[in-house]
Structure 1
Amino acid sequence: KNEKEITDLKNKEKALNNRITSLVAEINSLQETSQKEKNALIQKIQELKNAKLTSENELQTKINNLKDQINSLSIESTQVKENLGQQLSILQSRLNETNKEGEKKETSIQILTTTIKNLQTEIENLKNSSQKEKSDLLQQ
């Protein structure tokens, strides 16, 4: 009876060792996948930093997509997530600054356009006034 128990225990030990080996392999695979995901995100963030995008909307969309990807990562290190999030926050800040600068430029353009229209109107009025004075002088 003891021999049977020993054999059963050895079989259970073997099964547990196989399960441990399987779990270690799975963990290694997940870590490798996580590292690949992290590297891909870092590359995308770097590409965004270097990109000269045609529109702020395009950049905002890409930032939002990366935020979603970072949040869905199965990264064991919260420090990595925080670091990626900080890099995206920097990009978001730059985009916000660009938008503010664009709004300031737009306001300046509107003011200049109004000033130009006013000057054109004043020039036209002066021409008309000058023509009237010339006419009046010629009639005298």
Structure 2
Amino acid sequence: MKIMIIKIISMLVLLLCVNPVVLAKEVTMVSVFDVKQEKVVKVIPLTPELNDSVLQLLQSSPTIYGGFGVNPTSGIVLHIPFPKPVRIPHECYPHPIKEVYLFLAQGTKPLALLFLDNNRQNIVELDYDVQKKPIIPWIKE
């Protein structure tokens, strides 16, 4: 009887240690906010392809934004939290980026509101044509 109890306890410990929920890799999600609808219209996983597209966009000739604020009236905003801060080799990005809000509206250059790992924010304007090369294929905004 004592051996049976030890076996049951060992099985329970083993099950708790190898729980698939514990082993599941946490997936980073990207929120797609529609400015006119004033709500998140879709949530998608941050795939390696999407991550690469965002990093490519952030490297497209960024310049410090000279405006006073970002208050779009149309388009979409993508909220991308990176699983770990990313470093982009450019003077506009003095510190690794923890998360970014991409403001994409037709007829304007994309803006990126950056949250850096030193708890500061920065806004850059990007020289990228989202119409010609969408970040996400179904987004033509």
Q: TM-score range by the shorter chain?
A: 0.3 to 0.5
Q: Which has the larger radius of gyration?
A: 1
TM norm structure 2? 0.34
Structure having the larger proportion of residues in helix? 1
Structure having the larger proportion of residues in strand? 2
